[in-house]
Amino acid sequence: MTATDEVRLARVALTWLVEPGTWAVYRLVAELGPVAALDLLRAGGSPDPTLRAAVAARSAGGDARAVAEQALARTERLGARLVTPEDDEWPVRVAELERLRLSGTNRKVDLETAPPLCFWVRGAWPLAQAFERSVAVVGARAATPYGTHVATELGYGLADRGWTVVSGGAFGIDSAAHRGALTAGGLTVAVLACGVDRPYPMGNAALFDRIAETGLLVSEWMPGAEPLRPRFLIRNRVIAAATLGTVLVEAAARSGATQTLNRALGVLRPGMVVPGPVTSAMSVGAHELLREQPSARLVTGVAHVLEEVGPIGADLAPPARAPERLRDRLDDAATQVLEALPRRKSLALENVAARAGVDLRTAMRRLSMLEELALVVRRDDGYALAPSTGRRATDPAEDGRVHASDGTSAAPPQR
C-alpha cells in the first residue's frame, strides 16, 4: 500500500472511530498527520480522556483499519469516490470552519464543528468546482405552499444563472430547491447525513437518483451509515461553509435550518432570510433570526441573493419600484394645474390659474401639455379632467392607448 493509500485509509478510519467535526481528532491530524493520529488513537494514547473513551467504545465494534478497508472497497463497488484534502477537487472553503465558534450553547453538535477529514461523493462533477459558485437554500421540512413556491423559484433562478444550488435533500424546502435547479437544467448538490448509498429520506429516492446523475451526493459518513438525528446537525456546518451564502426559506421556532444559517454567519458568509406571513408558524424562526442577527439580510428573490453572494458591484438588484405612471413625469407646475381641476365640472382658464397658484401664461402652457397627454379635455366652458383621470384609474397611456371622452379606445395623441 502506497503512502497516499495509507493516508486515505487513515482518514476513513478516523471518520469511523469518532463522529465528524470532533476538534480533538482534527487537531491531532493537523499536528501528526492522519496515519500517526490513527496509530495513536488505536493505541489508546490520546491525551484527551473524552476522545479516548469514544475511540474505545467504537473500537469494541471492530478494528478501524479493517472497517476502513471494507468501506473503500464498498465505495468502489458503488461507483462512488472518496475525496480528501490531499486531492485537487477538495473544497478548500470548508477549512474556514476553523474560525467557527458558537457562543451560548453547550451542545456537542454546536461545539464540535471542526472541518471534515474526507467526503464520499456520488456524481461526475469535481467537488471543488461544484461548490465554487454555490448558494445553499435551506428551510422547513413541513413547508407551506408559499415556502415551496419560493424555494423552487430560488433554485430555478440560481441554477439558470449558472450557480450551484446546495441543500440537504430533506422534504419541504430542500426538495423544492433541488427540483427547481434540476428543472432549470442546472447543477445541484445534496449534502447528506448518512451514506451516499442510502440517502434519506427514502421518499426522495427518485430525486436523489436525478441529483446523482447530473449533480452530486456528498457525505462525511461512509457507505451504509445510518441517518442518525445528531448527524443532520453535524452535516449543516458543511452546507454553511462550503457555499458562498445561505438562504433560509421558512423555519419554525425550533429548526435545524436556523442552525445552518447561524453557522454561515459564524464563518462570515452572507446569511439571508426570506420573510413569510407573520401568522405562519413556519416563519417564526426566520423572523426571529432577522431580529436577533444584525448581519442577516432580508431577501425576496434571486436578484437579492445574487447581490449578496456575487462579486462586489456585480449583480446588483434593482430597487423595488411601483410601475411608473404618466403623472410621475409631470413637473411641479403641471401637477398643480392638474390637481386644481375639479372631478366633475369644468373651469375657465382664469379660475384654473387662481386655484393652482400660477400665472395665466403658465396655466395655459401646462393645460395644453396635459390636453396632449390626454389627462385634460377642453370644453366650451373651460377645462376638465379627462374621464379616466377623474376616476383616478390606471394611466390612460399606460398600455399605449388613451380613452376618448365617449369611453371608446383611441390611439395616443401624436406629438
Backbone phi, then psi, for 224, in 5-degree steps?
Answer: 90, -15
- CA–CA separation, 355 vs 329, rounded Å? 21
More confident residue, 110 or 12: 12
Quick one: cell of 29? 491530524
Label residue 400 by pLDDT band (50, 70, 90).
very low
Considering the chain, what percentage of its residues have pLDDT values greater than 70?
Answer: 90
Considering the chain, what percentage of its residues have pLDDT values greater than 90?
Answer: 80
- CA–CA separation, 274 vs 289, rounded Å? 11
Residue 186 has pLDDT above 70, yes or no: yes
Please name every residue paired with 378 in a beta bridge, in sequence order, or none if there are none: 383
Domain ranges across the chain: 1-73, 79-309, 326-410
Q: What is the pTM of this model?
A: 0.81
At residue 219, the 3 state secondary structure works out as strand
- CA–CA separation, 49 vs 285, rounded Å? 37
- Reported as a single tens digit per residue, the pLDDT across 195-224 is 999 999 999 999 999 999 999 999 999 999
Residue 107 has pLDDT above 50, yes or no: yes
Terminal Cα distance for the chain, rounded: 85
**Chain CA centroid to CA 5, Å:** 37
- Please report the pLDDT score of residue 293 as a whole number: 94
- Reported as a single tens digit per residue, the pLDDT across 23-61 is 999 999 999 999 999 999 999 999 899 999 999 999 999
Residue 388 has pLDDT above 90, yes or no: no
Average pLDDT over residues 347-354: 93
Nearest residue to 12 (alpha-carbon basis) of 32, 37, 43 = 37
Q: Are 62 and 69 in contact (CB under 8 A)?
A: no
SS3 content of the chain, % helix, strand, coil (to 5): 50, 10, 40
Q: Are 349 and 367 in contact (CB under 8 A)?
A: yes
- The answer to which of 131-145, 177-191, 314-328 has the lowest mean pLDDT is 314-328
Label residue 254 by pLDDT band (50, 70, 90).
confident
- Please report the pLDDT score of residue 140 as a whole number: 96
- Reported as a single tens digit per residue, the pLDDT across 257-272 is 999 999 999 999 999 9
Tally of residues, the chain: 415
Quick one: cell of 411? 390611439
Label residue 325 by pLDDT band (50, 70, 90).
confident
What does pLDDT average to over the chain?
90
Angle between helices 284-292 and 256-266 (to 10 degrees): 20
At residue 94, the 3 state secondary structure works out as helix
- Please report the pLDDT score of residue 407 as a whole number: 36
CATH number of 79-309: 3.40.50.450
Q: Which contacts of 354-361 are long-range, i.e. CB under 8 A and separated by 24 or more positions? A: 358/333
Q: Please state which CATH class domain 326-410 belongs to.
A: mainly alpha
- Please report the pLDDT score of residue 185 as a whole number: 97
Q: Are 392 and 382 in contact (CB under 8 A)?
A: no
- Please report the pLDDT score of residue 222 as a whole number: 98
- CA–CA separation, 32 vs 47, rounded Å? 13
Parallel, antiparallel, or unpaired: how do β-strands 81-83 and 119-122 relate?
antiparallel
Q: Which residues, other chains included, contact 177 with Cβ-Cβ below 8 Å and sequence gap of 6+?
A: 137, 138, 151, 152, 154, 155, 165, 167, 188, 249
